[in-house]
Amino acid sequence: AQTVTQSQPEMSVQEAETVTLSCTYDTSENNYYLFWYKQPPSRQMILVIRQEAYKQQNATENRFSVNFQKAAKSFSLKISDSQLGDTAMYFCAFMKGAGTYKYIFGTGTRLKVLA
Amino acid sequence: EAGVTQFPSHSVIEKGQTVTLRCDPISGHDNLYWYRRVMGKEIKFLLHFVKESKQDESGMPNNRFLAERTGGTYSTLKVQPAELEDSGVYFCASSFGQPRLEQYFGPGTRLTVT
């Protein structure tokens, strides 16, 4: 069975600084997808970034980038130039590349950006 | 375009009572998913509909939970009878086409069983 681990329950970062959220996963699959979702306070969860396991290049979306280490089964999220609006709960998620379309989530990291 | 909506936003019921949660997916989204987050723990998958058919219900905890999606539009999740351990936030999500691109989540229903 697949598992996703987020070892940092809470983190804080100063505005404009860079922060990295960690995520590790366990799977015997070779084809899969990894995601970071963000849930701002009292708002809906939205997709931040997505990575296909077969792609060696790390995904980037503006200030958000990932460090995908397939052999180490690590998928960390880097937020550059942190903004107050980045304050949110961040969930790392895994999805198999075939068959089921269900996400397997980690327990989340609560990030607070400080002014 | 309206997002995924869920009703109610919060429900407080007593143990043994029945509760029905509703999810309205984004219009045109064939795929609909239910997830649940128990306080402080990970978000767990419950089930997946494709139109009105249950594609995957491997996450449903027991037969006290019944999900339906009549007509392939909105979905309901009924818990009967509710137990204390059913408390948590129930999320609905929907997607169209390739489900591995993105699922769009609703705001969740917070269920408290006392």
CATH code of residue A87? 2.60.40.10
| The pLDDT value given to residue B99 | 67
Of A24, A41, A39, nearest to A93 by C-alpha is A24
Domain locations in chain B as residue ranges: 5-97+107-111
Find the mean pLDDT for residues B74-86: 97
| The pLDDT value given to residue B97 | 76
Structural domain including A13 reads: 3-114
Q: Domain count for chain A, please give it.
A: 1
Read out DSSP for A27-80? Answer: -S-SSEEEEEEEE-TTS--EEEEEEETT--SPPEETTEEEEEETTTTEEEEEE-
Q: What is the DSSP letter of B78?
A: E
| The pLDDT value given to residue B2 | 82
A53 in contact with B, Cβ within 8 Å: no
A92 in contact with B, Cβ within 8 Å: no
| The pLDDT value given to residue B70 | 85
Find the mean pLDDT for residues B102-106: 94
| The pLDDT value given to residue A98 | 82
| Residue that has been written with the tokens 């709960």 in this structure | A89
CA of B9, closest CA in chain A: separation in Å?
A: 11
Residue in A46, A101, A107 closest to B48 by CB = A101
B-chain CB neighbours of A106 within 8 Å are 42
> What confidence category does residue B72 fall into, taking pLDDT thresholds of 50, 70 and 90?
confident
User: Inter-chain contact A105–B103, Cβ cutoff 8 Å?
Assistant: no
Per-position pLDDT tens, chain A of length 115? 889 999 999 999 999 999 999 999 999 999 999 999 999 998 899 999 999 999 989 999 999 999 999 999 999 999 999 999 999 999 999 999 888 889 999 999 999 999 9
Report CA dihedral (B91, B96, B97, B99) to the nearest 10 degrees: -10
Q: What is the DSSP letter of B3?
A: -
> What confidence category does residue B10 fall into, taking pLDDT thresholds of 50, 70 and 90?
very high
What would be the CATH architecture of the domain defined by B5-97+107-111?
Sandwich (2.60)
Find the mean pLDDT for residues B64-84: 95
| Residue B1 reports pLDDT greater than 70 | no
| The pLDDT value given to residue A43 | 87
